């Protein structure tokens, strides 16, 4: 096995990583997500014991290219197939699914899952042939594609009126990566600069690493949802990108438990600098 050089992505790639529900075996996903990050990918890490719905909600809200899951708990067939079905149901069939589970996932099951629509399940043999970086290169290359374009005109306006998370997330991705396209789309929606503010209160929170920002926001969101049962909350979190690779890591969702709520519209991450902005709508 030759030493592999990291693949260089052609597009901005964002990936959700996690270990599956009822699975505390997170050593391998922790190694993989670090290599994915070092390959120039933005990683949203959820930790272990994560349900399909949590992973899919995160993937849509973060407007990701792919999901990467490890599963050692024996329920991989149902877990991966349900994830594939739920993405299709939520209008996010373009999001690719990658997985692994060592010897727990049999070769016949790998074939069945990939025939079902899972992009790739990596086996121990793949690890021996390709190496860790080789598997990550394969994953990143398969995920290296632009996200689907926004619908045109009135369809976007109608989607925003019904608070369509897919469209909100896509608009924020455009603002980050393709600002001219964002301005063109958003000027059509709301040409007035003053009208864009909409009277929505905005709260910004910043601080050094480990200061407790995520925990504070989690508690603020929890109390807000209790005190104002008819209102919704949106959160935008900003975290740093690595200058050398362009990769980045967001682990806030591990500490923010109250955000798994239908009234938290969108939690989208822009890895630009050290400022964290939480938008309340």
Task: In whole angstroms, give the CA distance from residue 165 to residue 170.
Answer: 8
Task: Give pLDDT, residue 232.
Answer: 85
> Is 4 part of a structural domain of the chain?
no
- CA–centroid distance for 28 within its chain: 19
Q: What is the pTM for the complete model shown?
A: 0.89
Instruction: Let me know whether 216 and 122 are in one domain.
Output: no
> Is 8 part of a structural domain of the chain?
no
* pLDDT tens per residue, range 166-178: 988 888 888 888 8
Q: What residue ranges of the chain have pLDDT lower than 50?
A: 194-195, 272-281
> Is 6 part of a structural domain of the chain?
no
Instruction: Let me know whether 61 and 172 are in one domain.
Output: no
**CATH number of the domain residue 128 falls in:** 3.40.50.280
Task: Give pLDDT, residue 198.
Answer: 60
> Is 2 part of a structural domain of the chain?
no
Q: Are 41 and 14 in contact (CB under 8 A)?
A: yes
Query: Which residues have a Cβ under 8 Å from the Cβ of 234 and sit 6 or more positions away?
Result: 168, 264, 265, 266, 267, 279, 280, 281
Instruction: Let me know whether 46 and 75 are in one domain.
Output: yes
Instruction: Let me know whether 180 and 116 are in one domain.
Output: no
* pLDDT tens per residue, range 197-244: 566 788 888 888 788 888 888 899 899 999 998 888 888 887 777 776
Task: Give pLDDT, residue 241.
Answer: 76
Structure token pair of residue 110:
């790998």
Instruction: Let me know whether 42 and 135 are in one domain.
Output: yes
Instruction: Let me know whether 131 and 48 are in one domain.
Output: yes
Instruction: Let me know whether 185 and 227 are in one domain.
Output: no
Instruction: Let me know whether 171 and 94 are in one domain.
Output: no
For the residues of the chain, what is the DSSP string, one character each? -PPPPPP--SS--EEEEEEBTT----HHHHHHHHHHHHTT-EEEE--SSB-HHHHHHHHHHTT-SEEEEE--SS-HHHHHHHHHHHHHHTT-TTSEEEEE-GGGS-HHHHHHHHHHT-SEEE-HHHHHHHHHHHHHHHHHHHH-SPPPPPPPTHHHHHHHHTT-HHHHHHHHHHHHH-HHHHHHHHHHH---TTTTTTT--EEE---STTSSHHHHHHHHHHHHHHH-TT--EEEEEE-PBPTTT--EEE-HHHH--TT-STTEEEEEEE-SSS--EEE--
Task: Give pLDDT, residue 266.
Answer: 60
Host domain of residue 229: 200-281
Instruction: Let me know whether 185 and 251 are in one domain.
Output: no
Instruction: Let me know whether 193 and 207 are in one domain.
Output: no
Q: Are 63 and 270 in contact (CB under 8 A)?
A: no
Asked which of 143, 161, 178 is the last residue of a domain, the reply is: 143
Task: Give pLDDT, residue 194.
Answer: 43
């Amino acid at each position: 096995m030759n030493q592999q050089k990291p693949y260089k992505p052609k597009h901005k790639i964002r990936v959700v990583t996690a270990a599956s529900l009822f699975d505390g075996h997170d050593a391998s996903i922790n190694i993989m997500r670090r290599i994915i990050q070092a390959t120039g990918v933005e990683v949203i890490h959820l930790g272990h014991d994560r349900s399909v719905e949590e992973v899919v909600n995160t993937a849509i809200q973060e407007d990701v290219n792919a999901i990467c899951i490890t599963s050692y708990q024996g329920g991989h067939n149902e877990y991966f197939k349900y994830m594939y079905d739920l993405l299709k149901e939520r209008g996010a069939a373009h999001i690719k699914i990658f997985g692994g589970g060592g010897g727990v996932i049999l070769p016949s099951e790998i074939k069945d899952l990939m025939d079902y629509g899972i992009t790739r399940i990596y086996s121990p043999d793949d690890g021996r042939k390709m190496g860790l970086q080789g598997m990550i290169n394969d994953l990143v290359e398969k995920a290296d594609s632009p996200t689907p374009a926004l619908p045109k005109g009135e369809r976007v306006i109608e989607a925003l009126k019904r608070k369509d998370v897919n469209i909100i997330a896509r608009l924020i991705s455009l603002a980050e990566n393709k600002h001219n396209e964002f301005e063109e789309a958003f000027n059509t929606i709301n040409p007035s600069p003053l009208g864009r503010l909409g009277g929505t209160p905005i709260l910004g929170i910043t601080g050094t690493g480990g200061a407790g920002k995520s925990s504070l926001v989690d508690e603020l969101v929890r109390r807000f949802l209790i005190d104002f049962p008819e209102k919704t909350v949106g959160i935008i979190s900003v975290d740093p990108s690595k200058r050398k690779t362009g990769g980045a890591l967001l682990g806030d969702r591990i500490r923010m438990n109250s955000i798994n709520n239908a009234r938290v519209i969108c939690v989208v991450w822009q890895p630009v600098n050290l400022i964290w902005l939480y938008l309340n709508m």
